[in-house]
Amino acid sequence: MAISLSNSMRGALYTLQQNQQAVQQSQLRLATGKRVGSALDNPNSYFRAASLSSRASNLQSLLDDMNQASQVLQTTSKGMDSLKSLIQGAQGLVGKASQAGQNNTLTGTLTTPLKADAKVVADVGMATGKLLQLSVAGGTAVTVATLGANTTVQDVIDGINGNTTLNPNGSGTSIRAALVGGNLQITSSSGKTVSFKSDDTDANLQKLLGAKTVEGSAVAVAGTAFVDTTRKSLSSQFDEILKQIDQTIQDASYNGINLLQGGDLKVTFNESGTSSITVKSVNYTANGELGIANSTNSFISNDDVDVASANLKRAIDKISSQAAIFAANQTVIQNRTSFTNSMIQTLNTGADALTMADQNEESANLLALNTQQQLAQTALSLASQANAAITRLF
């Protein structure tokens, strides 16, 4: 059955329905913060905003990559700082080796102590008439003793210390011999290679000096180089630092990228990939690209120390130069990071301007609509009461 409404009731009901729709719309805008939530609301604004938001999202992905690239370069920078610190430590060791001077000692290894008055022939066991000779740096052999029946160990020592060819500046000033702990000990203040020779047999010479077992322990017929224990210790520490340099290089990696070990870094700045930068890596090792060789001859000579010092300086200069290149790349990436971040904010602001609702405006609208709704409900109620009154007249 059809229900007939008066014009006044129909008008009040229509107003109430329209008002309710407007209330729901305002409530939705307040809840979502958007005045354009779909293409049905405003196709032009919706799709333009979607395009801007899409580009902002793409740039955000690129921005994340840029930030990660900055972390790679920061890791590399810290790694290079560590390398510099290690090299400076090595320079300190080389400086100490240089300051230590050269005072290289070689000691015999006899288990039965020699005595100064022991006769080299009768007591020690070498042959009569044989020569004991020293040569410096491969030079001409200098005779320090011709063994006779009465030649003592002290005579051999005096023959070395007093020899003016070996010690032109005075007794024992360059090559000095002494009996220390029951063994013949020979010291070179120049750090040059010294050979102790004899025309006697190896076996007989070893009765005077002991068998050569380790570097710097004793002398064989062919002679041996002296080793400065202080410089040898410093050279061992030097070589250990070189190992630490290589390990630091290996550890200077971030997210699988190591700019110090041949891992190039490419950073893309725009969505099309037409703007980018490739950070070229280096391939460092202490003995390789950095050119720091391990200590030579235990730093026995000043020449070895000077070579190490020069190598370290070149390595520091190389690292500093490369650090400047990486820093320039970092500056480019940081600038593009800042620009991209600004672009993302601009795009999001533009998208919001097309779709976002004014919260203050929508709140005021909702308040007004609620008031209108109450008025419409009152009008509908009054119209209904008027119709009822007319009905009672019949």
Mean per-residue pLDDT, 103-119:
79
Distance CA 355, CA 53 (A): 11
Q: Choose one of 227, 255, 273: the last residue of a domain.
A: 227
Residues of the domain holding 300:
58-100+230-346
**In this model, does residue 108 exceed pLDDT 80?**
no
107 and 218 Cβ atoms separated by less than 8 Å = yes
Nearest 5 degrees, angle CA 132-CA 138-CA 139?
A: 75
Instruction: Give bridge partners of residue 177 from the DSSP assignment.
Output: 186
| pLDDT value for 184 | 83
Tell me which of 194, 227, 260 is where a domain ends.
227
pLDDT average, residue stretch 109-132: 88
pLDDT, tens digit, 9 for 90 and up, residues 20-52: 676 666 666 666 667 676 677 778 888 888 899
DSSP 122: I
Of residues 214 and 10, more confidently modeled: 10
What pLDDT shows up at residue 216? 41
53 inside domain: no
Whether residues 96 and 234 share a domain: the answer is yes
**Helix ranges, the chain (H):** 7-32, 43-100, 153-161, 202-209, 229-251, 302-355, 359-392
Residue-averaged pLDDT of the chain: 81
Regarding whether 328 and 235 lie in a shared domain, the answer is yes
Task: Judge if 83 and 145 occupy the same domain.
Answer: no
In a domain, 39, yes or no: no
Q: Is residue 275 part of a domain?
A: yes
Residue 161 in any domain: the answer is: yes
**Shared-domain flag, residues 380 and 284:** no
- Strands 265-268 and 194-198 come out as unpaired
More confident residue, 150 or 231: 150
Residue 3 maps to a domain: no
Q: Looking at the domain assignment, is residue 274 inside a domain?
A: yes
Domain count for the chain: 3
Whether pLDDT at 225 is above 50 = no
Q: What CATH number should be reported for the domain holding residue 235?
A: 1.20.1330.10
pLDDT tens digits for 242-291? 999 999 999 999 999 999 999 999 999 999 999 999 999 999 999 999 99
Which of 198, 227, 256 is at the close of a domain? 227
Q: How far apart are CA 224 and CA 377, in angstroms?
A: 117
Same domain, 62 and 78: yes
